[in-house]
Amino acid sequence: MKVKNGFNLREVCGEHIIVAEGDENIDFSNIISMNESSAYLWEEVQKMGTFTVDNLVELICNQYEIDEATARKDAVALAAQWGTAGIIEGDDIPEDQSTNEKELTAETKDDIKEDVLKQESKPKKKGLFKRLFG
């Protein structure tokens, strides 16, 4: 995995925010806020160039008093979130397990379907750049 070019961490009003910079990222209209831990990890992986889940696990274990199994679970989840957000790239990005179909109950599946139907019925909002620049 590696950080996509043009995505940089900035501190804005005390918040850690990923900012899309450069022409190739002009259509990126998401705001990604990071807590202190994820901001630390982002800064470290930017220095590495390429990184793996194992690198994240090592960074987490070295920085925090946490066991390796918990660190691995957190590292996989974080890498999956970064991948879903589109701020990292690579063939080894873990899948987002937050809505794993196998682990969902029938009731949860119905709730998700209902939420999707509600979202589909709402008019789509324009991204920040489209609102500003048409």
Which CATH number belongs to the domain containing residue 29 in this structure?
1.10.10
Whole-Å CA distances, 62 to 59, 106, 124:
5, 40, 43
Q: What CA–CA distance (Å, rounded) separates 50 from 71?
A: 19
Q: pLDDT tens-digit profile of 42-68?
A: 999 999 989 999 999 999 999 999 999
In a domain, 21, yes or no: yes
What's the number of domains the chain is made of?
A: 1
Beta strand pairing status for 88-89 and 2-3? antiparallel
Q: What CA–CA distance (Å, rounded) separates 79 from 85?
A: 10
In a domain, 12, yes or no: yes
Per-residue confidence (pLDDT) for residue 82, from 0 to 100: 93
In a domain, 35, yes or no: yes
Mean pLDDT over the full length of the chain: 79
More confident residue, 62 or 121: 62
pTM for the full predicted model:
0.68
Q: Which residue in the block uniquely carries the two structure tokens 């705001």?
A: 31
Q: Identify any residues that bridge with 36 across adjacent strands, giving them in sequence order.
A: none
